[in-house]
């Protein structure tokens, strides 16, 4: 591939694009296609979205067995190299929303409200695709995993996707429900969609998600019900919404109404102290408010 020295230093860090607007991602260096036209995905790699965004799908650029190495790798302009490879094939309909380079920098190719062709199934319409650059010998860097978990968590907050993922023990296991996309919510991988993508990306990224608080499921039947649905049905009943086991739009709306941050159950309810802080009421105000409630008997 051609040398691209100085490429990164010439572009801004203005985040990704959501519905035509630039949105910064805390703790993530991201350059989008509006600020560097070389990152723009062509029409053949995307289309109008037909479903609700309720999943994140992770990929790696190669299917060699994944090995995680310490620290960060070099900036190899993989965001530009990946899209250049895609666009050089006229009949190749493929694309993701992001690529994470060896050094942890990120390129954004398409507006997140658009569907990109990354998972080879109906899951595309319900998901955001993230590519992690992998070395030929299977190496990915700890920095890339750190950036991925930050990005995935931020996306889940932005789009009210519940903090859940496939258990790391199911690496390289095809999960039939995931292909459809409509009744699964959380973080998945290409290796869960097809047996033709082994080690894409492997278990390590999912282990990192679990460590960051994502609840692991098999998304398979355990007894008479799927394990994720069995977890959500009693929560949905308590919220007063249809207990179908899929925490979609109605569940999110009910969680928001109950005060759960971003409609995400794992984030918990916005505490009174935080709420008063947002309103500009300090500790003294909090004490006064508490005393007033206790005296009124409320």
Instruction: Give the chain as a DSSP string.
Output: ----TTTGGGS----EEETTEEE--TT--EEETTT-GGGPPPGGGEEE--S---EEEEEES--SPPEEESS------HHHHHHHHHHT-TT-----SEEE-TTS-EEE-S-TTEEES-SSSGGGGGEEEEEE---TTSEEEHHHHHHHHHHHHHHHHHTT--SEEE-GGGTT---HHHHH-TT--EEEEGGGT-TTSTTSS-SHHHHHHHHTTPEEE--SEETTEEHHHHHHHHHHHHHTS--SS---HHHHHHHHHTTBGGG-GGG-BPPHHHHHHHTT--HHHHHHHHHHHHHHT-
Mean pLDDT of 79-93: 86
Q: Report d(CA 12, CA 219) in Å as an integer.
A: 40
pLDDT score of 273: 39
CB neighbourhood size of 40 (10 A): 15
Q: Is residue 100 domain-resident?
A: yes
- The answer to whether the beta carbons of residues 66 and 132 sit under 8 Å apart is no
Q: Is residue 122 domain-resident?
A: yes
Mean pLDDT of 86-99: 86
Nearest to 187 by CA among 156, 144, 213: 156
- Let me know the angle formed at the C-alpha of 62 by 187 and 130, rounded to the nearest 5 degrees: 30
Mean pLDDT of 162-174: 97
Q: Report d(CA 193, CA 85) in Å as an integer.
A: 23
Q: Number of structural domains, the chain?
A: 1
Q: Is residue 115 domain-resident?
A: yes
Nearest to 111 by CA among 13, 16, 12, 14: 16
pLDDT score of 21: 97
- Let me know the angle formed at the C-alpha of 112 by 106 and 116, rounded to the nearest 5 degrees: 90
- The answer to whether the beta carbons of residues 200 and 92 sit under 8 Å apart is no
Q: Is residue 225 domain-resident?
A: no
Q: Taking the model in full, what pTM does it have?
A: 0.88
Q: Is residue 288 domain-resident?
A: no
CB neighbourhood size of 170 (10 A): 19
Q: Report d(CA 188, CA 13) in Å as an integer.
A: 27
Q: How confident is the model at residue 295 (pLDDT cuts 50, 70, 90)?
A: very low
Assign residue 91 the CATH number of its domain: 3.40.80.10
Nearest to 37 by CA among 88, 96, 84: 84
Q: Is residue 105 domain-resident?
A: yes
The pLDDT > 70 percentage for the chain reads: 87
Q: Is residue 86 domain-resident?
A: yes
Residue 1 above 60 pLDDT? no
Mean pLDDT of 221-250: 98
Residue 3 above 70 pLDDT? no
The structure tokens 């790696």 sit at 60
pLDDT digits (tens, 9 = 90+) for 4-21: 333 444 567 899 999 999
Q: Is residue 258 domain-resident?
A: no
Residue 80 above 60 pLDDT? yes
Q: Which residues is 30 bridged to in the sheet? A: 106
What value does the mean pLDDT of the chain take? 88
Q: Which domain holds residue 197?
A: 8-219
Q: How confident is the model at residue 275 (pLDDT cuts 50, 70, 90)?
A: low
């Amino acid at each position: 591939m051609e040398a691209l020295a100085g490429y990164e230093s010439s572009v801004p860090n203005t985040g990704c694009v959501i519905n035509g607007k630039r949105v910064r991602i805390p703790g993530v260096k991201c350059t989008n296609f509006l600020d560097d036209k070389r990152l723009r995905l062509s029409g053949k790699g995307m289309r109008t979205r037909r479903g609700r965004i309720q999943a994140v799908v992770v990929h790696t650029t190669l299917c060699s067995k994944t090995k995680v190495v310490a620290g960060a790798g070099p900036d190899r302009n993989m965001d530009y190299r990946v899209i250049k490879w895609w666009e050089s094939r006229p009949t190749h309909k493929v694309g993701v929303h992001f690529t994470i380079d060896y050094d942890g920098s990120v390129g954004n190719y398409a507006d997140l409200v658009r569907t990109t062709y990354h998972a080879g199934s109906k899951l595309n319409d319900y998901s955001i695709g993230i590519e992690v650059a992998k070395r030929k010998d299977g190496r990915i860097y700890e920095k890339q995993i750190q950036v991925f978990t930050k990005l995935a968590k931020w996306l889940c907050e932005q789009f009210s996707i519940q903090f859940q993922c496939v258990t790391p023990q199911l690496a390289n296991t095809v999960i039939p429900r995931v292909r459809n996309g409509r009744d699964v919510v959380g973080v998945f991988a290409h290796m869960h969609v097809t047996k033709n993508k082994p080690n894409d990306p492997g278990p390590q990224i999912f282990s990192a998600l679990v460590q960051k608080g994502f609840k692991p499921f098999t998304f398979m039947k355990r007894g008479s019900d799927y394990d994720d649905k069995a977890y959500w049905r009693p929560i949905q009943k308590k919220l007063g919404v249809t207990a179908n086991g899929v925490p979609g739009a109605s569940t999110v709306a009910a969680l928001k109404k109950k005060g759960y941050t971003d409609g995400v159950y794992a984030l918990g309810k916005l505490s009174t102290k935080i709420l008063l802080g947002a309103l500009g009421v300090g500790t003294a105000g909090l004490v006064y408010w508490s005393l007033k409630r206790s005296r009124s008997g409320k």
